[in-house]
Amino acid sequence: MSLDLIIFIVLSALTLASAIGVVITRNPITSVLLLILTFFCISGHYLLMNAQFLAIVNIIVYAGAIMVLFLFVIMLMNLNKDTEPQKSTMVQFAGVISGGCLLLVILMAFQSSGIELTQTSTTVSNIGLIKVLGKKLFTDFVFPFEISSVLFLSAMIGTVVLGKKDDDIATAIQDS
């Protein structure tokens, strides 16, 4: 058993356990912390698969920015109590059944697609480096890249407009 395999198994177990914990835990704060752990494990998987750029971006964007945003909102609303009303048992059962059906469909599709799973060489590939990805991003994919900047601008404006209080907007309309 090689070292790669041991690291992979440990990381996978940790990822699955924390992801399941996100779904079934009652406290939203615990849920957020487990989600951060999941994202770090997924970054470890990216590193194992030689996607160094995506591992760094995953840690910075998800664990750094998005999770802080979640934590901030939860603290702001003072929701850290365990008394969340649960859905009825039947709806939960239906959710489990439909999720299981989806898993079954994906497994069957994967099995019938005929992809042979071989152990790829994990040391010589350099497609995950920032140099390669950046060159590709600014030549072949420059148009989606610019579009995403417009998307961020619209998301920022939308968030500010939504977050403003209603009377602020009313006075702004009256002033103009």
Residues that bind another protein (CB under 8 A): 19, 22-23, 28, 31-32, 35, 38-39, 42, 45-46, 49-51, 53-54, 57-58, 61-62, 65-66, 69-70, 73-74, 76-77, 79, 84-87, 91-92, 94-96, 98-99, 115, 117, 120, 122, 125, 127-128, 132-133, 136-137, 140-141, 144, 148, 151-152, 154-156, 158-159, 162-163
Do the beta carbons of residue 34 and residue 22 sit within 8 Å? yes
What whole-number distance in Å separates Cα of residue 50 and Cα of residue 125?
7
Whether the Cβ atoms of residue 118 and residue 40 lie closer than 8 Å to each other:
no
- CA–CA separation, 132 and 44 (whole Å): 20
Residue 59 CB, nearest approach to another protein (Å): 11
Query: Which residues, in sequence order, are CB contacts of 70 under 8 Å at separation 6+?
Result: 32, 35
6 vs 96, beta carbon nearer another protein: 96
Taking the complex as a whole, the smallest distance from the CB of residue 77 to another protein amounts, in Å, to 5
Q: Which contiguous run of DSSP H or E holds residue 137? A: helix 130-139
Q: Cβ distance 54 to 128 under 8 Å?
A: yes
Closer CB to another protein, residue 6 or residue 99? 99
Distance between CA atoms of residues 41 and 7, nearest Å:
11
- Rank residues 6 and 23 by Cβ distance to another protein and give the closer one: 23
135 by DSSP, 3-state: which? Answer: helix
Nearer of residues 1 and 162 to another protein, judged by Cβ: 162
Closest distance of CB 105 from another protein, Å: 14
Task: Give least dist CB 65 to another protein, A.
Answer: 7
